Amino acid sequence: MARVRTGVLISGRGSNLQALLDAAADPSFPAEIVCVISNRPGAGGLARAEAAGVPALTVDHKAFDTREAFEAALDAALEHQGVELVCLAGFMRLLTPGFVSRWTGRMINIHPSLLPAFKGVDTHQRALDAGVKLTGASVHFVSAEMDAGPIIGQGAVPVLPGDDAAALAARILEVEHALYPECLRLVASGEARLTDGRVVLTRGAAPRSQLLNPPARS
């Protein structure tokens, strides 16, 4: 079976990108990373892509007068690489409804909270300020509204006494690195499907972990 041609959009160091690259290095993984595109020249994730032998491209948003012009160039780069599925991995640009519409059902994102709680930025400090006992990470299909698309999977992380934002962020990042490849696998394999605006997992297996839903395969 052909692997799904996947492009990853980044803006920074690319730690979640690395988790995706590592997973896709297995020929049995249903997604193949065919390009990595950064909107920031020199982003650390570009070197990770090059080390993995994946084309590393830059579409600098500052070179364009409008968001629409930038996104047209981004869309052209994705199409040129034959991308079928897009992963946002620390991509720090808000996308217009037009771009989102072109990739509806074919673009996923990871966010460091248990959505719908704490959309947007500063999620870890906001979780601490709210006094929640659990937070975590979510992978979702991208919709026109920020951090609001149908949820594919989530990983829960306890908030511990004495946590500050940095400590909590580091613990959540470990879960992100397990969660994102698993959710990409589910989408690329067709085991996660959009039905009436919700994600249905066709595998039907009982969760093996309370801290990762869906659980990663052994």
**Is 201 in a helix, a strand, or coil?**
strand
- Return the active site residues: 111
Q: Is the dihedral of CA 165, 168, 170, 176 positive or negative?
A: negative
Pairing of strands 151-158, 212-213: antiparallel
> 134: which strand partners?
158
Question: Contact, 35 vs 81, CB < 8 A?
Answer: yes
Q: Find where tokens 């991308």 sit.
A: 83
Edge-first strand order for the sheet with 134-141 is 56-58, 31-38, 4-10, 85-88, 107-111, 134-141, 151-158, 212-213
Q: Which two tokens stand for residue 178?
A: 């397990």
